[in-house]
Amino acid sequence: MALATKMLIMKTYNNLYSEIYNMSNLLIAWRKARKGKTKKLYVIEFEKDIIGNLFQLQRELIEQTYSPKPLVTFILRDPKTRKISKSAFRDRIVHHALCNIIEPIFDRTFIYDSCANRKEKGNLFAIKRFEKFIKKVSKNGERKGIFSNNQVKGYCLKADIKHYFQEVNHEILINIIKRKITDEKVIWLIREILRRGGRTGIGMPLGNLTSQFFANVYLNELDYFVKHKLKAKYYIRYVDDFVILHASKSQLEIWLHQINDFLKRELKLELHPEKSRIISLSREVDFVGFRNFYYYKLLRRRNIKKMLSKVRYYKLGNYSKVKLLESFQGWNAYAKWADSLNVRRRVIKEIYHI
C-alpha cells in the first residue's frame, strides 16, 4: 500500500459522474474555459450555438461517446524550448468540468507546501516559504567561520524530475486516483483524456488544465514520502521542482539517493542528474523564477531577456503598444518581488526612449 494511503484515513467517492455532466457544472466550466479568451475565433464559433453545443457535450458524456479531439501542438521558446499542446475548446470545458468536481477531493490531501496550481498558492507563496525555511535552517543567518569563509549555515537540495510530464505512467496515476474515486465512469473519462495526451500509457501534454492537476496528484506520493517517511521538515515542491533545506549536507546526500530510489521504484521517474544537487545556503539557489540568496534575490537573466525582447519586437513594429504595456505590467508586478529596481528602470527607459 502506498505511503499517501497509509498516512490518511481514505474516504472514497462514488456517484460523481452525474455531477460532472450536470448542466450547471458545464456552464461553470464553460465560463472558466472562456475567461480571457472571448475574442478568440474558436470561442466565438462555439458560442454561436452555446446551448446546442453544451447539450451535445452533455449527451456525449452521459452516453460515454465523448472522445477528445486531436491536440494542436506548437513549440514555445522563452528561451527554454518546450512543446505545448492545446486542446479543443469543447475539451477544455470538459477538463474544467472534471476538475471542478474532483480537484477539491484531492486538494484536501495535498501537503501545505505543494505550491503549484492551487488556490492561494503559487510561486510567490513558494518563495515566502523558502525565505522562512532558509532563516530557520541557518538560525537567522548565523554565520560560521566569519573571519575565514563567511559562510551562512545550512544547505539546500535543489532537485528537478527528469522529463516529468513526458514520463508520467497512466496506470500508476489511475491507481492513485482510484484510491479516492471509485466511480468507474469518472475513471473512464480520465482515461479518455490521458489517452489523447501522450504516448501509449505514458505522458501528459504541457498546457492542459488536467495535466497540471494530475501532476500534483501523482507527486503527492513523493510529498508524503519526503515529509512522513524521511521526515524532512523544510520541503517545498513546485510542479516537478523541489527543494529541501537542512543544516547537514550529509543528510541531504542520503535523502537525495533515497528520493531517487523511491521515484524509480514507485513512480517510474528519476531525478535529473545535472539539475539535482546540494548547494550551500551561502550561494545562489535558483528556484521558482528567482535567483535566491540569503539577503536578497534577483530575477533570472532569461526573465529579463524575455521582457527586453518584447520591447525590441515592439520597436520593430511586431508588437502593439497596448500588448507591450500589458506584458510589462504583469512582469513588473512579478519583478518587484526581487531586488530589481535598476532592471525595472532600464526596461521603462527602453519602452519610453528615456
Average pLDDT over residues 245-274: 97
Whether the pLDDT of residue 7 is over 60: the answer is: no
pLDDT for 177 equals: 97
How many Å apart are CA 144 and CA 352, to the nearest integer?
Answer: 47
C-alpha torsion sign, points 33, 19, 195, 209: positive
Query: What digits encode the pLDDT tens for the residues 280-304?
Result: 999 999 999 899 998 889 999 989 9
Whether the pLDDT of residue 318 is over 70: the answer is: yes
In sequence order, the 6+-apart residues with CB closer than 8 A to the CB of 59 are none
Confidence grade of residue 139 (pLDDT, cut at 50, 70, 90): confident
Average pLDDT over residues 323-339: 91
Higher-confidence residue: 32 or 4? 32
pLDDT for 354 equals: 47
pLDDT for 320 equals: 87
pLDDT for 331 equals: 92
Amino acid at 314: Y
How many Å apart are CA 210 and CA 300, to the nearest integer?
Answer: 28
Q: Roughly how many angstroms between the first and final C-alpha of the chain, as a whole number?
A: 64
pLDDT for 143 equals: 53
Whether the pLDDT of residue 45 is over 90: the answer is: yes
pLDDT for 146 equals: 37
How many Å apart are CA 292 and CA 193, to the nearest integer?
Answer: 38
Amino acid at 220: N
Confidence grade of residue 316 (pLDDT, cut at 50, 70, 90): confident
pLDDT for 50 equals: 96
CB 115 within 8 A of CB 238: yes
User: How far apart, in Å, are the Cα atoms of 63 and each of 58, 93, 188, 271, 337?
Assistant: 9, 17, 12, 42, 50
Whether the pLDDT of residue 80 is over 70: the answer is: no
Among the ranges given (10-24, 59-73, 144-158, 274-288), the one the predictor scored with the smallest mean pLDDT: 144-158
Whether the pLDDT of residue 348 is over 50: the answer is: yes
pTM of the complete model: 0.88
- Using a pLDDT cut of 90, give the percent of the chain over it: 74
Query: What digits encode the pLDDT tens for the residues 146-175?
Result: 333 557 889 999 999 999 999 999 999 999
Whether the pLDDT of residue 199 is over 80: the answer is: no
Tell me the residue ranges of DSSP E strands in the chain.
72-77, 81-86, 143-144, 151-152, 155-160, 234-238, 241-246, 277-280, 285-287, 290-292, 297-299
Query: What digits encode the pLDDT tens for the residues 202-233?
Result: 999 988 999 999 999 999 999 999 999 999 99
